[in-house]
Chains A and B, each alone.
Chain A
Amino acid sequence: MDMRDANGILSSCTSGGCGSKIGPGELAGLLSPLPVTADPDLLVGYDARDDAAVYRMGDDVAVVSTLDFFPPMVDDPFVFGGIAAANALSDVYAMGGTPLFALNLVCFPEKMDKAYLAEILRGGADKLIEAGVPLAGGHSIYDREIKYGLSVTGRIAPRRVLRNTGARPGDRLILTKALGVGIVLAAHRVGMAGRAHYGNAVASMLRLNKYAAEAAADFSPTACTDVTGFGLLVHAGEMAGAGVSMRITPGALPILPGAHDYAAEYLLTAAGQRNRHFMEGRMDPEAFAAVAAPVQELMLDPQTSGGLLFSVPEGQADKLLAALRAVEPAAMVIGTVVPRAEWPIVFER
């Protein structure tokens, strides 16, 4: 079903995908004053700024819980549904968990053709089937703009929780998907993205991180997160925490075809600029300024359904990379974990 002309759906949305996230700085300011109930069984809460919450149910089992939703970032409703599902499931995979079931979250305009919504839901359900995850229910409301996503519940052994912190000096950083989704989508929005480039970006967003997570199961990464709306640098900065620094090799980054050129034409998102603000004071400014402007933008570019970022001991890096490339051909070693430097993020010159 092709309804893009009838609805002009993208032009009605102020921003789509993970680019719609509230900026990382603003969010931290909102969350930090909230009162919380301490609970020793809450192994990962929002204070950890991790991908999903983890709650221990017993010595050998914990629940992983996450939710994600956003406005459309592509024209085709079926594809949008699939991307939203892949993106929501990703948080469970990034924690090392196995999704058990999912619930739909739907906001849809009362006056819009419900066939469009049916296609979104079909796209989401189709992706859940690929992941082997049953749909267990959901919640739908009328809203002025379309939004769709899912809440996903998974299971994990408490001892096998793969946090976003824990990287150790000497580890190698491996990114599984190419960067530039936000920039290619921005180019598409203004009709300037080549068909093949747009197709590549969509295929990347639709790819489940399940396969990369499974490929990594035989290894012992020290940390993992999925790279989404905050872009590579903010997510890598979260991974650095207070203990180590991440030395990124800008020349080694996997980049979606076309994205570098679109960035050079300033086809940039607002979210990327918000990420840049957040990183001020969190990365080596001189080394960052020495990086070519388009590559700077790619490192800050919001990724919808982006790849997994693993920190893995050096001795396992080559083999893990080879295993990952069987399912994610763009996977690359993009940097090294180093002892804490002046900044959480530093750059290979």
Chain B
Amino acid sequence: MITIDALGQPCPIPVVRAKKAIAELPGSGGTVEVLVDNRVACENLGKMADGSGYRHETRELPDGNFRTVIVVGAGAAAAVARAPAPERQLLPEAGAGLVVAIGGNSMGRGSEELGRILIKGFIYSLSQLAPLPQAVLFFNSGVKLTFKGANTVEDIQALKDGGCAVRVCGTCVDYFKDEGTVAVGDVTNMYGIVEAMNAGRRLISI
């Protein structure tokens, strides 16, 4: 059993140290015991254990501190060990070569209204990626997101300003011409769209 003395250490340090210890367990699994000085820290340890499929138990000690014991079964430790090591940056800020194809002005199925909220959040989030996507492509009703007055124009502009190629399907713009005009992006034909898709390393289609 590995014992971690995390007394006096604020969240999320106990969880991080426990995960590190679990990652170092052999493939046959094992037990990690964490000493903390408050119940909330035990609860956060419990959430990590539950979410990872480990058994866990917490006892209050006579001195007012707490001991959480996490039991890791065979195979489970190896799964954690394969995950990125805690010292490394969690999110490799990768995204280079990403192409995003947006074929509608709503995201997902079920509720059109919700979908419109989601697509706005999606495009904003894209504009916050580092690095930015290589290209974002709009076709079918997706072109309306680039129209003058659309609440997504600003974020698409931010993408473009950051060096991301923004291409808008010309046939689609013509089809929806009664509903507005393009405020941001380069109007292109299907060849331009396919070319951008082919040039990317990864393609996400919405």
Contacts and interface: CB of A to CB of B under 8 A. Distances in A.
A197 B121 contact: no
Interface string B84-99: 0011011101000000
A318 interface: yes
B173 interface: no
Contacts of A22: none
A270 B120 contact: no
Contacts of A261: 90-91
Contacts of A262: 90
B114 A330 contact: no
Given A332-B117, A348-B114, A268 B91 contact: no
Given A252-B118, A266-B47, 18 more contacts: A14-B10, A189-B13, A190-B12, A191-B87, A192-B16, A194-B93, A251-B117, A253-B121, A254-B121, A254-B124, A257-B128, A266-B44, A267-B16, A270-B11, A274-B40, A325-B154, A329-B154, A330-B124
Contacts of A329: 124, 154-155, 158
A242 interface: no
Interface of B: 8, 10-13, 15-16, 19, 38, 40-41, 43-44, 47-48, 51, 86-87, 89-91, 93, 114, 117-118, 120-121, 124-125, 128-130, 151, 154-155, 158
Interface in A137-155: none
Contacts of A257: 125, 128-130
B43 to A, nearest CB: 5
A24 B58 CA distance: 24
Interface in A253-280: 253-255, 257-258, 261-262, 265-270, 273-274
A107 interface: no
A321 B155 CA distance: 14
